[in-house]
Amino acid sequence: MAGNPPGTPGTPKVLRAMNDRAALDLLLAHGPLSRTRIGKLTGLSKPTASQLLARLEAAGLVVETGTSEGRPGPSAQLYAVNAGAAHVAGLDVTPERILAAVADITGTTVGEYELRTPGRSGKSVVRQVLDALDGAAKAAGLARPDLHRVVIGTPGAFDPNTGRLRYASHLPGWHSPTLLDELAAALPMPVEYENDVNLAAIAEQRLGAAREHGDFVLLWSEDGLGAALVIGGRLHRGWTGGAGEVGFLQVPGTPVVRQVTKTGSGGYQELAGAQAVPRIAKTLGIETPETPYAEVAAGLLRHAAEGGSGDERYAELLRQTAQRLATGLSSVVSVLDPELVVLSGGVLTAGGEPLRTLIQDELAELAAARPKLVLGEVQQLPVLRGALESALADTRDEVFDTSR
């Protein structure tokens, strides 16, 4: 019987690579481990574990890092993933600024930079991206060519059929049909693009409330209202990249889609987005500015969640806000029937557990589906964190592949 061709499943080379990756994933998950501990966790013999570590150390993927202490018997050499084996960058883009960060291969953020981007700055988008990236790389003690990959998160989505940004008319300069080609030519590493809310979902899937959940919806509210859809463990982006653009979802009592381009509002966004919260407050006799929407809305809901200083009007504000949010969410869960709904973004998380409970109760009255609602756990720069996690996943697959 003929043997397997070189590199096919079951050959020693492939099995070694699989063991190498398993050990690297364990070191990422647990931190420094001894040879004996790695052997027990992988099921490898001591000699095989020793050969594995020697191989990974020679490849520059692991390093010795101190010894075990505090246990009976002699201390053991500990090994860790070499943090400097690769670096990635993530960008979080809004009309006002670009936040950039660099992380090492372990996921530790080692450099951050914020570039303000006023609408009439005079800088091209490519120049803005390069400046933000260079600022974060410099903060990390690196240069742009040292970065293995960059993931850029923006509102809306780049249509895979045309390469043009859609659903984000408020992002100046990002709608050129040649933009992606220009960025690819200017950047020395692979560059990927993703919707900002999708990246927040990736952060929750890898690090937060959606871990171990294959089917979930993330509902996001800050300046805009949007959703990310994860089905079978994978993001569902749709034919034009617009899956989850629920701000345009038709709900009772708001302008229909054909009016949205004229009014700049309408649908679920007008009913339950950040701008709706101060308007509800006004009808209840709570005096507050209506703009900036997200900041005002978060402040109102946070105060309401904390009890509103005993003012019953704030309890009513929470109730009406929850009712509006549940109205649009009921359509989403009726179609998708997800296992979990994660409430994310500064406006929703400001309402905390009181708002979550009210939305859960309202949703039970409006939809046959009964997903569990939870608050997002990645509340510190979730879009940026998701961009880094996305970049890290692909980079680890490449850098940790010892079969080549």
pLDDT at 215: 96
Residue 6 included in any domain: no
187 lies in the same domain as 289 = no
**pLDDT, tens digit (0-9, with 9 covering 90-100), for 184-219:** 999 999 999 999 999 999 999 999 999 999 999 999
225 lies in the same domain as 370 = yes
CATH number where 21 lies? 1.10.10.10
Residue 205 included in any domain: no
At residue 54, what are phi and psi to the nearest 5 degrees? -65, -40
**pLDDT, tens digit (0-9, with 9 covering 90-100), for 57-98:** 999 999 999 887 756 667 889 999 999 999 999 999 999 999
Residue 90 included in any domain: yes
Local confidence band at 112 (pLDDT 50, 70, 90 cut-offs): very high
pLDDT at 67: 87
253 lies in the same domain as 293 = yes
Flag whether pLDDT at 232 surpasses 60.
Answer: yes
At residue 91, what are phi and psi to the nearest 5 degrees? -125, 135
89 lies in the same domain as 74 = no
340 lies in the same domain as 244 = yes
CATH number where 229 lies? 3.30.420.40
Average pLDDT over residues 366-384: 96
The b-or-e profile of 252-262 (16+ CB within 10 A means b, else e) is eebeeeeebee
161 is in which domain, residue-wise? 85-199+384-399
Residue 34 included in any domain: yes
Average pLDDT over residues 378-393: 97
Q: Count of CB atoms within 10 A of residue 251's CB?
A: 18
Average pLDDT over residues 108-136: 91
Average pLDDT, rounded, for the chain: 92
Flag whether pLDDT at 2 surpasses 50.
Answer: no
Average pLDDT over residues 359-381: 96
Count up the domains in the chain and report the number: 3
Are the C-beta atoms of residues 176 and 201 closer than 8 Å to each other? no
Flag whether pLDDT at 107 surpasses 90.
Answer: yes
41 lies in the same domain as 104 = no
**Among 61, 81, 101, residue at a domain's last position:** 81
